Amino acid sequence: MTTEAATTSIRTEERASLLGRVSGSVLVRLIVRRVLIAIPLLLAISILVFAMLEAIPGDPARNQAGMDATEEEVEAVRKQMGLDRPPVERYLTWLVGFVTGDLGRSSVSGQSVVSLLSERTWVTVELVVLAFVVSLALAIPVALMAARKPGGFFDRVVMVISMTLLAVPNYVMALLLVLVFAVILRVLPAIGYVPIEDGLAANLRSVTLPVLALAVPLACFYARFLRGDLVEQINSADYVETARAKGVGPWKVLWRHAFRNSSFGLLTLVGLNIGGLVGGTVIIEQIFSMPGLGVLMLQGVMSRDTAVVQICVFIFAAVAVLANLVVDVMYAVLDPRIRYGNR
Amino acid sequence: MNNGRSGRSAARLLGTVVLAAGLVVSTVACAGGGGEDTGDGGGATGDPTAGGELTVLLDAAFAGGWATGLDPATSNTTGANLAQNSAIFGGLFTLEPDGDGGKIVENQAESFSWSDDAKTLTVTLRDGITFSDGTPLNAEAVLWNWIRAFDSGSTGAPRLQLDLSKPAPELSPEFMDSLWAALPADVDKALVEQHLGAIRIVDDLSVSISLANVDGSLVNGFPTSSLNLIASPSAYAELGEGAFSLAPVGAGPFIVESDKMSERLELTKNPDYFKPDLPYLDALTFQSVAGDQVAYQTLLAGQGDVIEGLSSVPLITEAEGNPDVEVHLGAPTSPYVIQLNTRKPPFDDIRAREAIYYATDFKAINTGLFKGEGELSQSFTASGGLFFNPEVDGYRTYDPEKAKQIVEELGGLTVNLGTTDIVTARSVTTALQTQWQEAGIDVTINAEPLGDVITRFIAGDWESLLQTAGAWDPSVGIGVSVRFGSTSPFSGAPLPEGAGSAQDALTQGLTTELDDLLRAAVATTDDDERRAAYDEIAKYISDEAYAPFGMAFSPAQVMRAGVHGPGLDIPIPALSVNQGVLYDRVWVESGNE
């Protein structure tokens, strides 16, 4: 090793060590601050959800008891659902239960909420994670290829297709996918969910259409956004000009330079989309008869099963908060200016 | 009984959105399907064959929802879950096909008889029937189930006035222990004792039930009642409340293999079923799906064999043109009705009610919205129902000129027309609004979720509401008394004179002429007398212009070719909403398993 090379190596190690210490402490502070903000936020969400359930017109006990139930039966149902107690007392009971790990029982089925969640959470998690992975896996290469020659044939075709698919709501997308792959081609199931314990291949087959129904519109959105940002970077950013002047090839400019910068915008979008995607599972799970949290929440809303709705919304909100926290952390990891700014 | 309807509107809304998009989809999928008309109820060809499996798709918002479990005593959705109950429990009585209508037939019961005063019904069981756990289905098991049906706190509990005057007989300590263990901890024990006085074991195979008043519709109401479903007390003791609710043990044609509440119910053949060579099927699965469109596509995709109760008219029409599926409409029993609230203006004036009768053209609505598939009725039932009266003498039919004339005479008429927020109902109210406006009536439509409609009913805060009325037996379920009895919370018929409210009428024992007629219609077990009473009731409602009736429409059974059975390709009248399929006799043609 030459002296120059050894010096460079030492400097690099020092810099890495320093960066590690600084970024580590900054990241920890960032995470702690975000978590502290999340607690009152989630509390406010739980109050809001409770208030909204209270504000829905109509009598949930009568709704649950049915049209031909007597007043005595309606009152019995009201008692069974806990609706005979004041709202504040009910909310506080739920909150104390939540904090102590007792989520109570469904007022409709009588099943423990914990057991209901344990059966269903994985289904929704799998759906959401796969939808994100697939949407990014589709969007990134397509956007890079489209941005390589803006206005070219591929770019135009991709933009037209993505605009068309963006205009299709995910429940219509779901029905179209079922029509093509289940009804006409008969290669994938129209409904149902196979747990991963029953075989990975069968599990993936069962989630393919719901995942695509969620991922395709998202992929179109990401692809359009990323392609636009990449083109802007390529056309106007100084660092791109510099890279080109150094003789860096167009693909490398795109991938190593422009994409890295554009990924910040994409990250923001992904963070913002988490809530929408999790919300989208409510309809998609229903259409594909998947036993996930979305269906559980919908059933809970319809029957005003407060214990179930509260925890489902809480989980959805917590996921959104967590996703935004991860995005913030990713920002800090990717962009030194944010790390030092926070410091 | 119709508690399964709770929340139906919300899911229907979702279904509607899906349907709107999906119509295009399904039309494309089936383009070119020439289509034979299979809606004639032609029935099967050839002899039934044993074997095969069937997956039945049920609407998650109604028959496919069993969130409160399948224990007949504690389920709130017994009336909606006819399919599951028929498969697991079979039933003491079944409603069987009978020409264009239906008839009650003994199933696990061998016979029934009434006492001389027609207040006590004795049901005798077939000898030798066992539950699928091997224990006997005897009088003691029926008593255990019937007491639980009355005293478990379910909103689906039977609505019968029992004779509570008799003391409870001495019963074995083992039986009483088993009964108390299966009742809620806070049960009214004194009331249970009174019920034990009214429901008695006559002998090892006979049980009697004594009523406070004659109820001629009692046996007809069995197929939708929890009284019809007899579960194994031994299995309850062994499994406990929770597990039993998920996988109850009956003496029906199938045994629960697995149950994911309100999602999927898998059943296998009961090898000890009491009917020889039945059931035909080896396995039966009920899959809950999100509405008609998803059900139809799932059927086309080959993941389902039967859709029970498809109600979307465009999809039914589409399916009728698809050669790969068969469509069979049931015999209708429940017509649309525009209930008019006679207890407040403007419909406390008979002229305003007459104007609505004359301004309403249900025939045009039937043609325009239902493609003529509905059956027009002038009373509270239709051709599939008992005591159907197709034409009521003096019924006011569509006459817009007369309507205009009355509206002018009244100096104008402003009406609020409410409905449950279901797409079909909203379409009908929009059509009615157009028709009424042509007669000079100013109409505001108010579509709300079912729960809100119920709240309005109870508060009396409504003028006119589009609803459905009737059932196979007019006094069962959402029958004529619910819509027209003066003390029913869902009625707009006048209160008795001297009564300020329904509760007041009940307290004072006051009745209207219509109440007396309604009582007379069930105060006899003679069908001819009941028919005469219902004819009189139909005439009375028509003369007083309480509510114009419209078309009755029965949901369709849609299945892949080669599936047969009573309630599928052999129509049975809808008991309340859907037809009751007799799954022990459902079979699949060889080669189609």
Hey, which residues does B130 pair with through a beta bridge?
B136
CA pseudo-torsion sign B149, B154, B160, B163 = positive
Residue B108: its pLDDT value, please? 98
Question: Residue A106 corresponds to which tokens in the numbers above?
Answer: 């469904």
User: ipTM higher than 0.90?
Assistant: no
Residues belonging to chain B: 593
**How far B490 CA sits from the closest chain A CA (Å)?**
8
**How far A51 CA sits from the closest chain B CA (Å)?**
18
The reported pTM is 0.82
Q: For B392-399, which contacts have Cβ atoms below 8 Å and span 24 or more sequence positions?
A: B392/B538, B392/B539, B392/B542, B393/B539, B393/B542, B394/B539, B394/B542, B394/B543, B395/B542, B396/B354, B396/B357, B396/B358, B396/B542, B396/B545, B396/B548, B397/B357, B397/B358, B398/B358, B398/B359, B398/B360, B398/B361, B398/B362, B398/B363, B399/B358
SS3 state of residue B411? coil
Count of pairs with CB atoms under 8 A, one residue in A, one in B: 155
**How far B23 CA sits from the closest chain A CA (Å)?**
10
Instruction: Look at the block and give the residue holding tokens 């395709």.
Output: A216
E strand or H helix at A67, and its extent? none
Q: Across the beta sheet with B254-260, what order do the strands follow?
A: B254-260, B264-269, B283-289, B53-59, B306-310, B556-560, B325-329
d(CA B364, CA B378): 15
What is the CB neighbour count within 10 angstroms for residue A7? 11
The verdict on a CB contact (< 8 Å) between B11 and A298 is: yes
Instruction: Look at the block and give the residue holding tokens 């079944």.
Output: B94
E strand or H helix at B588, and its extent? strand B587-588
Residue A260: its pLDDT value, please? 83
**How far A290 CA sits from the closest chain B CA (Å)?**
8
Instruction: Look at the block and give the residue holding tokens 């059975």.
Output: B565
Instruction: Look at the block and give the residue holding tokens 């909204």.
Output: A52
CA distances from B544 to A293, B357, B396, B441, B537 (A): 52, 11, 10, 20, 11
SS3 state of residue B213? coil
The single-letter DSSP state of residue B36 is -
d(CA B477, CA B23): 33
CA distances from B255 to B233, B252, B258, B267, B279 (A): 16, 8, 9, 5, 11
Q: Which residue of B has its CA nearest to A177?
A: B25
User: For every residue of B503-554, which 3-state class applies, written as one string?
Assistant: HHHHHHCCCCHHHHHHHHHHCCCCHHHHHHHHHHHHHHHHHCCCCCEEEECC
DSSP string covering A166-229: HTS-HHHHHHHHIIIIIIIS--S-SS----GGG-HHHHHHHHHHHHHHHHHHHHHHHHHHHHHH
Are the C-beta atoms of B419 and B446 separated by less than 8 Å?
yes
E strand or H helix at B56, and its extent? strand B53-59
> pLDDT tens for residues A170-223?
889 999 999 999 999 999 999 999 999 999 999 999 999 999 999 999 999 999
Are the C-beta atoms of A38 and A325 separated by less than 8 Å?
yes
d(CA B125, CA B471): 27
**Which of A176, A183, A291 shows the shortest C-beta gap to B301?**
A183
Pairing mode, if any, of strands B283-289 and B53-59?
parallel
The verdict on a CB contact (< 8 Å) between B14 and A69 is: no
pLDDT in tens, chain A (343 residues): 455 555 555 555 555 555 555 555 677 777 788 788 888 888 888 888 888 877 776 677 776 666 666 777 778 778 877 788 888 888 888 888 888 888 887 877 778 888 888 878 999 999 999 999 999 999 999 999 998 888 899 999 999 999 999 888 888 999 999 999 999 999 999 999 999 999 999 999 999 999 999 999 999 999 999 999 899 888 887 888 888 888 877 788 888 888 888 888 888 888 888 878 888 899 999 999 999 999 898 888 877 787 888 889 888 888 888 888 888 777 777 776 665 555 4
d(CA A84, CA A90): 9
**Which of A108, A286, A302 shows the shortest C-beta gap to B68?**
A108
Residue of B55, B59, B297 for testing the chain A interface, max A β-carbons within 10 Å: B297
Residue A20: its pLDDT value, please? 57
Residue A102: its pLDDT value, please? 83
Q: Which residue of B has its CA nearest to A182?
A: B301
The verdict on a CB contact (< 8 Å) between B29 and A62 is: no
Are the C-beta atoms of B306 and B54 separated by less than 8 Å?
yes
Residue A21: its pLDDT value, please? 54
The verdict on a CB contact (< 8 Å) between A73 and B17 is: no
Are the C-beta atoms of B477 and B442 separated by less than 8 Å?
no
Question: What are the residue ranges in chain B where pLDDT is below 70?
Answer: 1-45, 450-451, 591-593
Residue B190: its pLDDT value, please? 95
Using a CB-CB distance cutoff of 8 angstroms, which residues of chain A are in contact with residue B157? 73
Residue B12: its pLDDT value, please? 41
Are the C-beta atoms of B496 and B509 separated by less than 8 Å?
no
Going by C-alpha positions, the residue among B443, B442, B354 that lies closest to residue B405 is B354
**How far A112 CA sits from the closest chain B CA (Å)?**
11
Residue A13: its pLDDT value, please? 59
CA end-to-end span of chain B: 34
